[in-house]
Amino acid sequence: MESRLNVDHILSPQSHVSLKAGRIVKAEAVLVAIPFQSDAKPVWNFTGAPKNTFDTMLVRIETENGFVGWGEAFSRTEDVALKNLIETKIFPLIVGEDAAAISKIKFKLEFGLQNFGRVGPTMYAISAVDIALWDIAGKAAGLPLVDLLGGAFAQNVNVYASLLRYDSQEGVATATRQAISRGYRYIKLHEVNYPEIAAACQAAEGKASIMLDVNCPWSVAEALAMDARLADLGLLWLEEPVWPPENYRGLSRIRAEKNHRIAAGENAGSLHDFAAMIDAQAIDIAQPDVAKTGGVTELLKISALCEASAVEFVPHCALFGPGMIATLHINAAQRNVPLLERLYCDFEAELFGGATIPKEGKLFVPQGSGLGIDPDPEVIERYRVK
Ligand SMILES: [Mg+2]
């Protein structure tokens, strides 16, 4: 990859020198798939056999003044179709625009592409652009993103280990104990059967809190039965119990039983989906994903809606690229700093040189300007999907 001006070299975080971001002159989608090690299966299985690699769909935006911003779109199983969509439908609409006009660019993309879906790949792509533009805004201001969002309530954020699916009592209990030994005090399971869920809760007893995410497998009747059966396990929340994800009436039916706090939102597309969820009394915990739900700009709106609706704001984050870093900044800027999600697996190579590996269950908010850290060009080249 060609070498680029690194703005952090000319602007320290303390400099407070403001430069104009300038017009967008170049945009590039870079798909990276890095192998990971885990004894478990990935929860996703979108194209046949699951692969133990993890996608990071990077969007790199460059301005006439030499600023480079990085964003991320949600991607799985080497999603070349999404990369093509970004290159052919998104980039022609943003090159030439003033990179500082983040909301205007976001509106232009959303309005222009509304017929291509308000939830899904088009919104993932728009989310990536939004994140990259916020990165540029921070770099141009000489401030970390968290300072643009009103400043940090915490320098580090508690992380929860989001386990993959083990489908065995021994497997999930071993992983739970290992995560606790690595310093995690919050662990989320992706099991769907009672024996595995109970085994993990037993392994964690007194040492860590357990959340359960089942990824929308059940009818309302099935979910009601499981909700009652799981009630004595002391789960911190129950996530996406009913099919389909937008079955807000179904969620509200489960929530009305008061056995669990109900979490959902990773499959939503915008602020208005969360308004509908909240109107339906479907959720206690809102989980927008910065790389799916319209980027930093949309998450700020959703955060405000949650505050005014007495709903907890805990962003979803099954990401390891700039989307994860953006979520870290967003979480640190909340008065009640939400837990940050991190899928529990170990990578063959690290995009950020280990900055996204928690220590004692915590991650520090990068202090450099913008997202504060750029992905490693060598790792990008080694794992790039051509
Ligand atoms: Mg989930």
Distance (Å) from CA 12 to ligand 1 centroid: 37
pLDDT in tens, 130-189: 999 999 999 999 999 999 999 999 999 999 999 999 999 999 999 999 999 999 999 999
| Orientation of helix 322-332 relative to helix 295-309, angle to 10° | 30
pTM of the model: 0.94
Distance (Å) from CA 216 to ligand 1 centroid: 9
| Helices of type H across the chain | 80-85, 91-94, 102-112, 121-141, 145-148, 169-181, 194-204, 220-229, 248-255, 271-279, 295-309, 322-332, 377-383
Provide CB contacts within 8 A for 349, sequence distance 6+: 34, 379, 382, 383
**Is residue 117 pLDDT above 90, yes or no?**
yes
* Phi, psi at 74, each rounded to 5°: -60, 130
According to the model, what pLDDT value does residue 104 have? 98
Distance (Å) from CA 340 to ligand 1 centroid: 13
Distance (Å) from CA 10 to ligand 1 centroid: 40
Percent share of the chain, pLDDT over 90: 89
Distance (Å) from CA 86 to ligand 1 centroid: 25
Q: Could you give the CA distance from residue 7 to residue 81 in angstroms, rounded to a whole number?
A: 32
**Is residue 51 pLDDT above 80, yes or no?**
no
Distance (Å) from CA 243 to ligand 1 centroid: 13
From 137, 144, 148, 145, select the one nearest 22 (Cα to Cα). 137
| Token couple for 160 | 């929860």
Domain boundaries of the chain, sorted by first residue: 7-145, 147-374
Distance (Å) from CA 241 to ligand 1 centroid: 10
68-73/156-162 β-pairing: unpaired
* Phi, psi at 231, each rounded to 5°: -60, -30
According to the model, what pLDDT value does residue 159 have? 98
CB burial of residue 37 (10 Å; 0-12, 13-18, 19+): exposed
Distance (Å) from CA 266 to ligand 1 centroid: 6
Distance (Å) from CA 286 to ligand 1 centroid: 11
Distance (Å) from CA 232 to ligand 1 centroid: 22
Which CATH number describes the domain made up of 147-374?
3.20.20.120
Distance (Å) from CA 220 to ligand 1 centroid: 18
From 326, 358, 313, 286, select the one nearest 71 (Cα to Cα). 326
Distance (Å) from CA 283 to ligand 1 centroid: 13
Distance (Å) from CA 213 to ligand 1 centroid: 5
Distance (Å) from CA 111 to ligand 1 centroid: 28
Among 41-55, 200-214, 218-232, 300-314, which stretch is predicted with the lowest mean pLDDT?
41-55
Distance (Å) from CA 316 to ligand 1 centroid: 7
Q: Residue 346 is which amino acid? A: D
Distance (Å) from CA 16 to ligand 1 centroid: 38
Q: Could you give the CA distance from residue 241 to residue 50 in angstroms, rounded to a whole number?
A: 23
Q: Could you give the CA distance from residue 103 to residue 125 in angstroms, rounded to a whole number?
A: 15
* Phi, psi at 95, each rounded to 5°: -65, 130
Distance (Å) from CA 339 to ligand 1 centroid: 14
Query: SS3 string of 112-179?
Result: HCHHHCCCCHHHHHHHHHHHHHHHHHHHHHCCEHHHHCCCCCCCEEEEEEECCECCCHHHHHHHHHHH
Distance (Å) from CA 22 to ligand 1 centroid: 38
Under a CB-based contact definition with an 8 Å cutoff, are residues 347 and 34 in contact? Answer: yes
**Structure confidence at residue 44 as a pLDDT band (50, 70, 90):** low
According to the model, what pLDDT value does residue 14 have? 46
Under a CB-based contact definition with an 8 Å cutoff, are residues 259 and 230 in contact? Answer: yes
Distance (Å) from CA 293 to ligand 1 centroid: 14
Q: What is the number of alpha carbons within 13 Å of residue 216 lying toward its C-beta? A: 11
Distance (Å) from CA 190 to ligand 1 centroid: 8
Q: What is the number of alpha carbons within 13 Å of residue 168 lying toward its C-beta? A: 7
DSSP conformation class of 36: E
Distance (Å) from CA 315 to ligand 1 centroid: 10
**Is residue 11 pLDDT above 50, yes or no?**
no
Distance (Å) from CA 60 to ligand 1 centroid: 27
Distance (Å) from CA 267 to ligand 1 centroid: 9
pLDDT in tens, 240-272: 999 999 999 999 999 999 999 999 999 999 999
CB burial of residue 151 (10 Å; 0-12, 13-18, 19+): exposed
In CATH, the architecture of 7-145 is 2-Layer Sandwich (3.30)
Distance (Å) from CA 4 to ligand 1 centroid: 36
Q: Residue 320 is which amino acid? A: F
Under a CB-based contact definition with an 8 Å cutoff, are residues 140 and 18 in contact? Answer: yes
Distance (Å) from CA 212 to ligand 1 centroid: 9
